[in-house]
Amino acid sequence: MEYLKLTNLTKIYLKKIIAVNNMDLSIHKGEFLVLLGPSGCGKTTTMRLIAGLEAATEGDILLEGKSITGLAPKDRDVSMIFQSYAVWPHMTVYQNIAYALKLKRMSKKDIDIRVKETAKMADITEYLDRNPTNLSGGQRQRVAVARAMAVKPKLFLMDEPLSNLDAKLRVAMRTDLKKAHELLGSTTIFVTHDQSEAMSLADRIVVMNMGVIEQIGTPNEIYHDCETMFVANFIGAPPTNFFDVEIAVSNDNVMVKHGMFEFAVAKEIEASLRKYAGKIVVLGVRPENFDILPVGKGLLDSKIEFIEPQGSHTVVVIDIMGKHHKIISTGTFELKVGQEIGIDINQNNFFFDKESGKRIR
Amino acid sequence: MNTKKLITRTLFLLFLVTMLIAILVPFFAFLATSLYSSSEVYQYPRTMMPRFTYDMKITWEDDMYQLSVYEDDIEDYELKIYTNSPEKLRIYLKKQYSVQLTDEEIVADFSKSKDGTAVYMQYKKDLLYNFKTFFTITSNADKAIMNSIIAAGWTILISLSIGSMAGYTIARYRIKWKKQINLSLLIVRMFPMVAVSIPMLVYLIRMGLNGTMFGLAIVYSVGNIALTAWITNSIFQGISVELEEASLVFGANKIQTFFKITLPLAFPGLVACSMYAFLAAWNDSIVALILSNSNPTLSLLIYKAIGMSGDIQLAAAGAVILVTPSLIFTFIIKNYINQLWGDVKF
Ligand SMILES: Nc1ncnc2c1ncn2[C@@H]1O[C@H](COP(=O)(O)OP(=O)(O)OP(=O)(O)O)[C@@H](O)[C@H]1O
Ligand SMILES: [Mg+2]
C-alpha cells in the first residue's frame, strides 16, 4: 500500500497561475523520492501543499490512508527542511531542536535525550549552546536537519536543502543525508533542480515541468528510458540531441530518413513506427550513443566545431545541417577542431511523437 | 588612489566631528546654563564652565558691609553691594550667586570686618540651586512627573499594540491598496497634533476623559499608531516568512508562532518604536496645554514655568529635568536600538 498518496492535486495561485496541475503520485514507506524540474515548475508548491503551508485548490493528500488535506501543518506529522534553513536566530541550536519536542509536551528529560541523540547524528553536538547567527551555512544546514529529525516525523520534506552550500560541502552533505535516511528508514521527498544530486540520492525521481509530472522512475529509467522529449532534454549533460526525421516504410524495412543520414530502426520499435509512415518524428540520441569513426566509415560525415575536454571524456561539438550537436567521445582518438570525422548512431535511441512530445514505443 | 582614500577619510571625519559638535555643544551649553547662577548668566563674556566657588571680600565702611566679588576678567575685586542688613545680603547672595547662607552664618563671617580689616571668604555655590528653585516655584512637579510617565506609558501601549498589529497585517497579508495604505500612514503624521487635539477635546469631554492621562495618550497615539505601523511593517517584512512557517510545521499554531517566533524577532524594532512613542508623549506640551491644562504633565509644567519666570537658567534646569528620563529610557533600551538595523533575517 502507498504510504503517501496525492490524487488530482492542483494548486492555482491568484485564480490564474497553475503551479501544480492535477498531480497523482504515490510514495512507498522508506522511499527517498526526488522532485526534479526546472525553476518554477511547482516543486516547492507541491512540498508546501503536503506540509499544509498552502491549501490545495483541488485534490487530496493521503498519509497512511488518511486524508490530511484539511489539517493544519502542525497536525500532519511531517517535518520540513527549508531552502533558507529557517533556523530561528533568537534561539540556541539546542532550543531550535527542542522547540517541536516542547510543543509535543515531552518531558524535559526526554527532550534532552532526544536533542543530544539527534545532535550527535547530525554532528553538531559542540554547537548546541551556540546561536545559529554565528554558525556557517553548512552548520546551520545540519541544525535544520537535526531539528527535522528530532521529531521523528512520518515524512521528511526537503526543499533544495543543499543549494546554498558550496560545491564540495554539497556533495559531502548529500552523502550524510542519504546515510541518515538509511539509518532512520524515513520517508523523504527531496526537491532539487540539480540532476546529479537527484540521481545520486533518489530511489525514484519525479521529473516535473510546468506543474505536471513528466515521468516517474528510478534514476536509470529516467536517464535511459525517457518518457517524453522534455525528460530527454532536461536529464543528462550535455542533453539529448534531437533530429527531425521522416519514417519511410519500404517492404520489410522501417527506415529513418534525415537530410544527412538514414538507417533502419531496431526490430522492437518497427511496429510502432510503421504507424508514422511518411510522417516526421523526433529522433533523440544521447551524446554517448554516437561513435566517432574515420571519415566515410560512419552514417554521416561532419566537422568538429569545438572540443570541450572533461577529463574522463571529451565533449565534441559537431555540425549537422547547420545545427550544433554535442556528442561524447570516450575514445583516445586525437581530435582537433576543424577535423573531418565520421559519425555513427547506435541503436540506443528514442523516438518521440513530434506533436505531443511523448515517447513512441 | 591613496589620496582619494585620504580625502574620503578626512571628509568623513570632518563630518563626524561636525555632527558631534552640533549635538554636544547645545547639550553642554544648556547643561552648563542650568548650573549657572544669576550673575553668571548676565556676565559678559560668558564662561563655558559654570563656577563652583566665589571669592569674596567684605569690608566695613560707613556703618555698612561692603561686599566685593573677585572677577576673573578684571583680575580684581569689584564692589557689588553695600548694606548693613544681613538679611539683604543673604538674599542677594542667594539670588545673584546661588550661595546659600543663613543670617547667622553671615553675621558670624562678616562681623569680623567690623574692626576695620578686610575679610576674605570663599563661598561654595549651590550647584543645584536652579533645580531646587524650579521645584519650589512649580508647586506640583512630582505629580506632573507621574502624569508624564503615565501618559507616556499609555501612549507606548496604545500605539504599539494597535500600530504593530497594523504593521504585521500590511507586511504579511495580501491586501488591496497596500501601497496606498502605507503612504496614507505617513499622511496621518503630517497633521499637526494641535489641529487634531482641538476636535479631540470635544470627544474626550464627551467620553469624560478630558484632563486624564489616558485621554491625552489617545491623542498622542493618533500620529504614533501610523508611525509604528509604518516602522513595524518593515520590521516584519524583514523577518523571513520561512521562520514562521517552520514553526507551523514543527507543531505550533499561529498564535504560538506569533508569540514564540515573530514577536521575539521583532522585539528590538518594537522597543525602538516604543521610544518614538515615548518621546512624542514626553516632550509634548502644546497638546497637553489644550487637553489637560489643569492636570499638567512635566513638559507642560516646564513650559509654563519658563513662561512665568523668564530666568534662562531656570528654563535650562527644567530642560535638564525633562531630558533626564528620556536619556535613562534610551539608555535602558540602547541594546535594542543598536540591534534594530542588525540582522533579523538570515
Ligand atoms: N505565493 C505565490 N503566489 C503566486 N504565485 C506563486 C506563489 N508561489 C509560487 N508561485 C508560482 O507558482 C509557480 C511554481 O512555483 P514553485 O515555487 O513551486 O516553483 P519551484 O519549482 O519550486 O521553482 P524553484 O526551482 O525556482 O524553486 C511559479 O510560476 C511561481 O511563480
Ligand atoms: Mg522552489
CB spacing of A88 vs B246 below 8 angstroms: yes
Same domain, B325 and B210: yes
Same domain, B109 and B141: no
* DSSP annotation of A359: B
CB spacing of A53 vs B248 below 8 angstroms: yes
Judged against a pLDDT cut of 50, whether residue B142 lies above it is answered with yes
- Residues in chain A with CB shorter than 8 Å from the CB of B253 are 72, 74
Distance from CA of B297 to the nearest CA of A (A): 39
Verify whether ligand 1 is closer than 6 Å to residue A193 (CB atom). Answer: yes
Radius of gyration of chain A from its Cα atoms, rounded to whole angstroms: 25
CATH of the domain at B312: 1.10.3720.10
Radius of gyration of chain B from its Cα atoms, rounded to whole angstroms: 28
CB spacing of A133 vs B346 below 8 angstroms: yes
Pick the CATH number of A4-234 from 3.40.50.300, 2.170.190.11, 1.20.1530.20, 3.40.50.1450: 3.40.50.300
C-alpha cell at A51: 506540509
Cross-strand bridge partners of residue B64 = B61
State which amino acid sits at residue A83. Q
Beta strands A280-285 and A349-353, pairing class: antiparallel
Cα separation of the two ends of chain B: 35
Same domain, B169 and B70: no
Q: What is the pLDDT of residue B343?
A: 44
Judged against a pLDDT cut of 50, whether residue B344 lies above it is answered with no
Q: What is the pLDDT of residue B115?
A: 81
Name the stretches of chain A with pLDDT < 70.
Answer: 332-333
Ligand 1 atom 11, closest CA: A19
C-alpha cell at B87: 538679611
* Ligand sitting nearest the alpha carbon of A15: 1
Verify whether ligand 1 is closer than 6 Å to residue A11 (CB atom). Answer: no
**Separation between Cα atoms, residue B170 and residue B234, nearest integer Å:** 9
Same domain, B205 and B333: yes
In chain A, residues under CATH classification 3.40.50.300 are: 4-234
**Separation between Cα atoms, residue B218 and residue B178, nearest integer Å:** 25
Number of helical (H) and strand (E) elements in chain A, helices listed first = 9, 20
CB spacing of B251 vs A53 below 8 angstroms: no
**What is the CA(A100)–ligand 2 centre distance, in A?**
24
**Separation between Cα atoms, residue B288 and residue B211, nearest integer Å:** 9
Distance from CA of A51 to the nearest CA of B (A): 7
CB spacing of B252 vs A74 below 8 angstroms: yes
In chain A, residues under CATH classification 2.40.50.140 are: 241-352
CB A53 within 8 A of CB A73: yes
- Residues in chain A with CB shorter than 8 Å from the CB of B243 are 86, 88-89
State which amino acid sits at residue B64. M
Q: What is the pLDDT of residue B10?
A: 92
- Residues in chain B with CB shorter than 8 Å from the CB of A79 are 249-250
Query: Touching check for A287 and chain B: CB below 8 Å?
Result: no
Instruction: Count other C-beta atoms under 10 Å from residue A145's C-beta.
Output: 25
- According to CATH, the topology of domain A241-352 is OB fold (Dihydrolipoamide Acetyltransferase, E2P) (2.40.50)
Same domain, B169 and B316: yes
Ligand 1 atom 26, closest CA: A39
Reported as a single tens digit per residue, the pLDDT across A81-118 is 998 889 999 999 999 999 999 999 999 999 999 999 99
Overall average pLDDT of the B295-312 stretch: 82
Domain-located, residue B105: yes
CA–CA distances in Å: residue B257 to residues A45, B174, B243: 22, 19, 9
Query: Touching check for A71 and chain B: CB below 8 Å?
Result: no
- The model's confidence at residue B1, banded by pLDDT at 50, 70 and 90, is low
Q: What is the pLDDT of residue B339?
A: 61
| Number of cross-chain residue pairs from A and B with Cβ atoms under 8 Å apart | 64
Same domain, B36 and B74: no
User: Which residue is listed with cell 515517447?
Assistant: A359
- For A162, phi then psi, to 5°, come to -105, 0
Verify whether ligand 1 is closer than 6 Å to residue A14 (CB atom). Answer: yes
B345 compared with A148, residue with greater pLDDT:
A148
Same domain, B166 and B254: yes
Q: Which of A13-17, A242-246, B14-18, B221-225 has the lowest mean pLDDT?
A: B221-225
CB spacing of B261 vs A88 below 8 angstroms: yes
C-alpha cell at A260: 544527412
* Ligand sitting nearest the alpha carbon of A43: 1
Reported as a single tens digit per residue, the pLDDT across B148-168 is 999 999 999 999 999 999 999
Judged against a pLDDT cut of 60, whether residue B279 lies above it is answered with yes
Q: What is the pLDDT of residue B259?
A: 92
Domain-located, residue B335: yes
CB spacing of A51 vs B249 below 8 angstroms: yes
Same domain, B111 and B149: no
**Separation between Cα atoms, residue B230 and residue B184, nearest integer Å:** 10
- The model's confidence at residue B135, banded by pLDDT at 50, 70 and 90, is confident
Q: What is the pLDDT of residue A200?
A: 92
* Ligand sitting nearest the alpha carbon of A36: 1
Reported as a single tens digit per residue, the pLDDT across B237-277 is 889 999 999 999 999 999 999 999 999 998 888 888 888 89
CA–CA distances in Å: residue A301 to residues A82, A307, A335: 51, 17, 14
CB spacing of B250 vs A99 below 8 angstroms: yes
Which strands form A323-329's sheet, in the order they lie side by side?
A: A290-293, A340-345, A300-309, A314-320, A323-329
Judged against a pLDDT cut of 80, whether residue B307 lies above it is answered with no
Domain-located, residue B26: yes
Reported as a single tens digit per residue, the pLDDT across B20-76 is 998 888 888 888 888 888 888 887 777 778 888 888 888 888 888 888 888 887 888
Please tell me the total number of residues recorded for chain A in this structure: 361
**Separation between Cα atoms, residue A293 and residue A312, nearest integer Å:** 19
Ligand 1 atom 29, closest CA: A40
pLDDT-above-70 percentage for chain B: 97
Partner residue facing B250 (CB), from A52, A89, A151: A151
Mean pLDDT, chain B, integer: 85
Kindly indicate whether the ipTM for this predicted assembly is greater than 0.95, answering yes or no: no
Domain-located, residue B326: yes
- Residues in chain B with CB shorter than 8 Å from the CB of A88 are 243, 246-247, 261, 265
Q: What is the pLDDT of residue B105?
A: 85
Task: Report chain B residues touching chain A, CB-CB < 8 A.
Answer: 240, 242-243, 245-253, 256, 260-261, 264-265, 343-344, 346
Verify whether ligand 1 is closer than 6 Å to residue A187 (CB atom). Answer: no
Same domain, B329 and B236: yes
Please tell me the total number of residues recorded for chain B in this structure: 346
Which strands form A212-217's sheet, in the order they lie side by side?
A: A78-81, A155-159, A188-192, A32-36, A204-209, A212-217
Which domain range does residue B32 map to?
3-41
Total number of domains in chain B: 3
Q: What is the pLDDT of residue B346?
A: 36
Cβ under 8 Å to B: A residues 118-137: 133
C-alpha cell at B338: 543598536
**Separation between Cα atoms, residue B135 and residue B317, nearest integer Å:** 10
For A271-295, give one letter per residue: b (16+ CB within 10 A) or e. eebeebeeeebbbbbbbebbbbbee
- Choose among A180, A186, A157, A177: nearest CA to A68: A157
Domain-located, residue B47: no
**Separation between Cα atoms, residue A222 and residue A217, nearest integer Å:** 6
Domain-located, residue B48: no
Same domain, B177 and B202: yes
Same domain, B70 and B158: no
- Residues in chain A with CB shorter than 8 Å from the CB of B261 are 88
Quote the Cα angle for A329-A331-A333, to 5°: 100
Same domain, B229 and B319: yes
Domain-located, residue B46: no
* DSSP annotation of B193: H
Ligand 1 atom 12, closest CA: A19
